[in-house]
Amino acid sequence: MTATPAHPCAQNAALAAVASLIGDPSRATILSALLDGGALTAGELARAASIAPQTASGHLAQLVAGGLLVVDAQGRRRYYRIAGADVAHAIEALSAITPPPLPQRALRSRPAAIRCARTCYDHLAGQLGVELADALVARGILSRTGREFLVTAAGALWFAELGVDIELVRRSRRKFATTCLDWTERRHHIGGALGAALATRLFELAWVTRMEASRALRITVAGRIALDRLLRLSIRDPLSD
């Protein structure tokens, strides 16, 4: 039996309900504090949002009920985290288009590791993601048209040497190479199947590694040397400062 599609009014009501959860300044601050992929207690989130613990508990209950957060209990402690990559991406997208742009002092308040390099869904974001995209375009490996990146003839050879099979990537059911507006950098990184394949290959080569309990990434020494050699790409490591 075919399921009956949801009525547009019902869909709009559900969208409005989620928007109202995110739209409260305290709840928005709580969500932003968890964007690095980590988990925090209610007390830590109350301090981050500059609100009373009782007020934070009420907001957290709403965010969990709305499917934006999940809670894990460990002994007496309850840890809250973003419910999934789709939620994190939606919040990042809203942050990126929020007028006026965040002042530099607000951007500097974001964890340095998250701004340097992180995952966005399954592709590379942060300074690493946008500078990698810029370098690939500047060197004629990619070209950009509208909301997509295209692989040039020279680029196909470059990716093959890196170990990325472009034709195999093209056969993916998802979009090939989309532009994805970066939440912290306010520039575009590479999304879609190509962005995922590129990230996977950098993990395989151990040029980037994951940081525990976070979407932040660490660029390894081997990765810094290779990216500098291949693309003249040099990104400061905030953890070495």
pLDDT above 90 covers a percentage of the chain that reads 52
Q: Which residues constitute the domain of residue 127?
A: 112-240
Same-domain pairing of 116 and 176 = yes
Same-domain pairing of 81 and 168 = no
The CATH number given to whatever domain includes residue 81 is 1.10.10.10
Q: What is the pTM of this model?
A: 0.65
**Beta strands, E only, the chain:** 40-41, 69-74, 77-82, 118-120, 123-125, 142-145, 148-151, 179-181, 188-190, 208-210, 217-219
Same-domain pairing of 191 and 159 = yes
Is the backbone peptide bond immediately before 111 cis, with ω within 30 degrees of 0?
no
Same-domain pairing of 182 and 225 = yes
Same-domain pairing of 231 and 119 = yes
For residue 105, being part of any structural domain is answered with no
* The domain boundary residue, chosen from 43, 75, 99: 99
With tokens 């590129």, the residue in question is 198
Q: Which amino acid is at 2?
A: T
For residue 4, being part of any structural domain is answered with no
**pLDDT tens digits, residue range 193-234?**
999 999 999 999 999 999 877 788 999 999 999 999 999 998
For residue 1, being part of any structural domain is answered with no
Q: What is the mean pLDDT of residues 56-76?
A: 89
Q: How many CB atoms lie within 10 A of CB 221?
A: 10
* The domain boundary residue, chosen from 65, 99, 133: 99
> Dihedral, CA atoms, 133, 138, 139, 143, nearest 10 degrees?
70
Q: How confident is the model at residue 72 (pLDDT cuts 50, 70, 90)?
A: confident
Of the ranges 37-51, 88-102, 103-117, 150-164, which one carries the lowest mean pLDDT score? 103-117
Q: Residue 4 is encoded by which pair of tokens? A: 């009956």
Same-domain pairing of 158 and 55 = no
Same-domain pairing of 188 and 155 = yes
* The domain boundary residue, chosen from 77, 99, 121: 99
- Report the distance separating Cα 80 and Cα 195, nearest Å: 29
For residue 235, being part of any structural domain is answered with yes
Q: Domain total for the chain?
A: 2
